[in-house]
């Protein structure tokens, strides 16, 4: 095995980290010398196949080539209908675009380390569901990485926080990134990390703050006679750039001017932090509601929370700090780098999961990490989504969703359900795996289906169905024949939203052979 790295594959930015021989994790610089790489892909070709450009250079050209750029692809992970059509006529799934980013990260890490990178722990929002977790693992596979594990971002952040500070206590992680929001409560006791509850919104992040500001700026610009920028791809890309820039400026200064050009005309919109806070207020309120929900789910009050960690680039907005202080009556911890904490934690986990026995010149071994941290690390995480099975009511027709594993259950988790064969000479059990708490099948998502053959028994023969959530929060279903008292095996779940083995192999070849810059 080569080197195992930790990868924070973010909606807007990504970072790679390794544990050094001292046992301390460190973010690696990319080939441009930056510690973060924008998760942006520009599909360019020079008369031949696509030669995607990834990172800062791609981001800078977003406004100039709006049709050739892919940003925020993380939002589409696990969405089987999403495709990007490049100008050269090729089509890419979200997993492939993510794999292109991962491949660039892998190659840059190999340059920085001078050694081959083979394995990775990739982080995901705690609120990612089964389809999105599986899609992330598949993106790693397409990029020729052995994905040791997908790790929840807030858990990774807490892991890196736990190494530096006197972190013991109950910690709330407020993680507002580019595209997702997660809030997680965990207990840290030495090298034990126990997640108690998690909640979030995978469509709430800096991107939405940019969108809200863009709408406001567009209205102001129209009042000055500018064309509707939201109706024109190039103008919209330019306005997005200006909006994000202004948003970031307002994190440090109280007011700024937004300069905008269209049709050779120049416009200027003055903008204050108060105005920005006003147009984005509903988004802040949404995070506030989710924080309240997670506190309730954990059965804790603010008095029980010892520390608040802010993670994700969007927590640089002063409104976040104000909200957290106002809600909790506590000042957030300052010694967390919101851009790096997640990648650093992922590297710790990668080293613990990998099988590097001895430190090399570049990277540390599992033993060095443990001695640096002060002992073996134990992480216990919880499920972010309820998992269930579709059953049939006693009337023999009406379907309902039976929750098997509730939200915020510790993983790995296993539950069992006794059921019976539904009719005489039944030869197979068909299982529909659901995600969601509600009883009505209309209100839950079928994440996958699978079938297992059973011996021919009379109607009403007892079966036991067991669900197991592994540490990656992907589900394994097993059926027991209680007549013969033996396992009938595990069901291979065909995931509705994910790629099949054949497609994966083709994508590995397609992306593997690509020149990525």
Question: Which residues are identified as catalytic?
Answer: 8, 74, 153, 175
Instruction: Show the binding pattern over residues 257-296: x = contacts ligand AMP (CB under 6 A), - = does not.
Output: ----------------------------------------
Comparison of 61 and 211: residue with beta carbon closer to ligand AMP: 211
Which CB sits closer to ligand AMP, 312 or 441? Answer: 312
Q: CA–CA separation, 123 vs 106, rounded Å?
A: 15
Is there binding between residue 74 and ligand AMP (CB under 6 A)? no
Q: How far apart are CA 72 and CA 78, in angstroms?
A: 13
Distance of CA 266 to the CA centre of its chain: 39
Q: Does 178 participate in binding ligand AMP (rule CB under 6 A)?
A: yes
Q: Decide: 75 and 206 in contact? Cβ < 8 Å.
A: no
Strands 169-176 and 307-311: parallel
Residue in the structure block whose two tokens are 């010149």: 361
Comparing CA positions, the residue from 373, 412, 411, 382 lying closest to residue 191 is: 373
Options 59-67, 184-192, 201-209, 269-277: segment touching ligand AMP (CB under 6 A) = 201-209
What is the C-alpha to C-alpha distance for residues 322 and 193, in angstroms, rounded to an integer?
Answer: 27
Q: Which candidate, 20, 150, 39, places its Cα nearest to that of 103?
A: 39
52 binds ligand AMP (CB under 6 A): no
> How many residues interact with ligand AMP (rule CB under 6 A)?
19
CB of 162 or CB of 177, closer to ligand AMP:
177
Among 247, 307, 432, 480, binds ligand AMP (CB under 6 A): 247
248 lies in the site for ligand AMP, by CB under 6 A: yes
First and final C-alpha spacing in the chain: 25
- CB-count burial class (<10 Å; 0-12, 13-18, 19+) for 475: buried
Q: How far is the CB of 497 from ligand AMP (least distance, A)?
A: 23
Distance CA 68, CA 290 (A): 36
304-333 residues near ligand AMP, rule: CB under 6 A? 312-314, 316-317
Determine which residue in the list 206, 332, 345, 388 makes contact with ligand AMP, applying CB under 6 A. 206
Closer to ligand AMP by Cβ: residue 283 or 431 = 283
| Rounded Cα–Cα distance for residues 157 and 15 (Å) | 13
CB closer to ligand AMP out of 10 and 364: 10
DSSP 317-364: SHHHHHHHHHHHSSPPPSS--TTTHHHHHHHHHHHHHS---S--SS--
The DSSP element (H or E) to which 257 belongs, if any, is strand 255-262
Closest distance to ligand AMP from the beta carbon of 247 (Å): 5
Query: Which CB atom, from 123 or from 198, has the smaller least distance to ligand AMP?
Result: 123
**Considering only residues 3, 5, 9, 11, which one is a binding residue for ligand AMP as defined by CB under 6 A?**
11
Least distance (Å) between residue 240 CB and ligand AMP:
10
- Binding residue (CB under 6 A) for ligand AMP from 3, 12, 16, 152: 12
Q: Which stretch binds ligand AMP (CB under 6 A): 186-194, 199-207, 488-496, 503-511?
A: 199-207
* Calpha distance 231→248 (Å, rounded): 25
Tell me the β-bridge partners of 413.
469
Question: Residue 199, preceding bond cis, omega within 30 degrees?
Answer: no
The residue among 53 and 343 lying less far from ligand AMP, judged by its C-beta, is 343
177 binds ligand AMP, rule: CB under 6 A:
yes
Q: Which letter does DSSP use for residue 418 in this model?
A: E
Find the part of the chain contacting ligand AMP (CB under 6 A) among 84-92, 227-235, 243-251, 421-429.
Answer: 243-251
Inter-residue contact 396 to 209 (CB < 8 Å): no
Which residue has the closest beta carbon to ligand AMP? 206
CB of 249 to ligand AMP, least distance (A): 8
- Residues 333-362: x where in contact with ligand AMP by CB under 6 A, - otherwise, as a string: ------x-----------------------
Q: Which is nearer to ligand AMP, 235 or 317 (CB)?
A: 317
Q: Which of 6, 10, 78, 125 binds ligand AMP (CB under 6 A)?
A: 10
- Interaction of residue 108 with ligand AMP, rule CB under 6 A: no
Stretch that binds ligand AMP, among 125-133, 200-208, 212-220, 221-229 (CB under 6 A): 200-208
Enter the tokens of residue 275.
Answer: 């105005």
> What 3-state class would DSSP assign to 413?
strand
CA distances (Å), origin 45, targets 101, 105, 198, 510: 17, 21, 43, 15
DSSP characters over 120-177: EEEEE-TT--HHHHHHHHHHHHHTT-EEEEEEEHHHHHHHHHHHHS---EEEEEEEE-
- Tell me the β-bridge partners of 257: 270
Minimum gap (Å) between residue 500 Cβ and ligand AMP: 30
Nearer to ligand AMP, 251 or 451 (CB): 251
Residue 251 within binding range of ligand AMP, rule CB under 6 A: yes
Neighbours of 225 (CB within 10 A): 10
d(CA 516, CA 53): 6
**Of residues 15 and 373, the one with the C-beta less far from ligand AMP:** 15
Stretch that binds ligand AMP, among 7-15, 400-408, 469-477, 496-504 (CB under 6 A): 7-15
Chain positions contacting ligand AMP, by CB under 6 A: 10-13, 177-178, 205-207, 244, 247-248, 251, 312-314, 316-317, 339
């Amino acid at each position: 095995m080569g080197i195992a790295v930790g990868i924070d594959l973010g909606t807007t930015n990504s970072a790679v980290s390794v544990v050094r021989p001292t046992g301390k994790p460190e973010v690696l610089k990319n080939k441009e010398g930056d510690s973060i790489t924008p998760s942006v892909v520009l599909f360019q070709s020079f008369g031949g196949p696509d030669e995607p450009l990834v990172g800062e250079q791609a981001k800078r050209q977003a406004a100039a080539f709006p049709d050739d750029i892919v940003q925020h692809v993380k939002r589409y992970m696990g969405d089987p209908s999403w495709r990007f059509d490049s100008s050269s006529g090729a089509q890419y799934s979200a997993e492939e675009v993510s794999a292109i980013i991962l491949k660039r990260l892998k190659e840059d890490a190999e340059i920085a380390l001078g050694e081959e990178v083979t394995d990775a722990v990739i982080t995901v929002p705690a609120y990612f569901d089964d389809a999105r977790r599986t899609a992330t693992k598949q993106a790693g596979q397409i990029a020729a990485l052995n994905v040791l594990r997908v790790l929840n971002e807030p858990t990774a952040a807490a892991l890196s926080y736990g190494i530096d500070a006197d972190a013991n206590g109950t910690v709330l992680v407020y993680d507002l990134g580019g595209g997702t929001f997660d809030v997680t409560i965990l207990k840290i006791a030495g090298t034990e990390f126990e997640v108690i509850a998690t909640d979030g919104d995978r469509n709430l992040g800096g991107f939405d703050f940019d969108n809200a500001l863009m709408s406001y700026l567009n209205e102001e610009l129209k009042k000055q006679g500018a064309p509707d920028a939201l109706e024109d791809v190039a103008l919209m890309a330019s306005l997005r750039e200006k909006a994000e820039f202004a948003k970031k400026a307002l994190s440090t200064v109280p007011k700024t001017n937004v300069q905008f050009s269209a049709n050779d005309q120049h416009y200027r919109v003055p903008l204050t932090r108060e105005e920005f806070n006003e147009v984005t207020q509903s988004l802040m309120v949404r995070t506030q509601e989710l924080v309240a929900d997670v506190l309730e789910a954990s059965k804790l009050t603010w008095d029980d929370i010892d520390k608040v960690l802010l993670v994700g680039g969007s927590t640089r907005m002063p409104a976040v700090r104000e909200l957290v202080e106002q809600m909790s009556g506590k000042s957030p911890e300052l010694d967390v780098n919101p851009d790096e904490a997640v990648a650093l934690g992922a590297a710790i986990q990668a080293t613990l999961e990998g099988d590097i026995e001895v430190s090399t010149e570049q990277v540390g071994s599992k033993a060095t990490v443990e001695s640096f941290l002060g002992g073996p690390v134990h992480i216990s995480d919880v499920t972010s989504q309820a998992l269930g099975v579709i059953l049939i009511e006693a009337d023999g027709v009406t379907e309902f969703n039976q929750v098997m594993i509730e939200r915020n259950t510790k993983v790995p988790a296993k539950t069992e359900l006794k059921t019976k064969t539904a009719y005489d000479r039944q030869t197979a059990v068909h299982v529909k795996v659901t995600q969601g708490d509600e009883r009505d099948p209309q209100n839950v998502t079928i994440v996958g289906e699978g079938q297992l053959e059973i011996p021919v028994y009379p109607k009403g023969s007892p079966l036991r169905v067991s669900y197991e959530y592994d540490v990656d929060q992907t589900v394994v279903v097993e059926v027991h024949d209680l007549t013969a008292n033996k396992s009938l095996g595990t069901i291979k779940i065909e995931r509705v939203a994910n790629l099949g083995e054949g497609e994966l192999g083709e994508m590995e070849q397609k992306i593997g052979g690509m020149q990525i810059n």
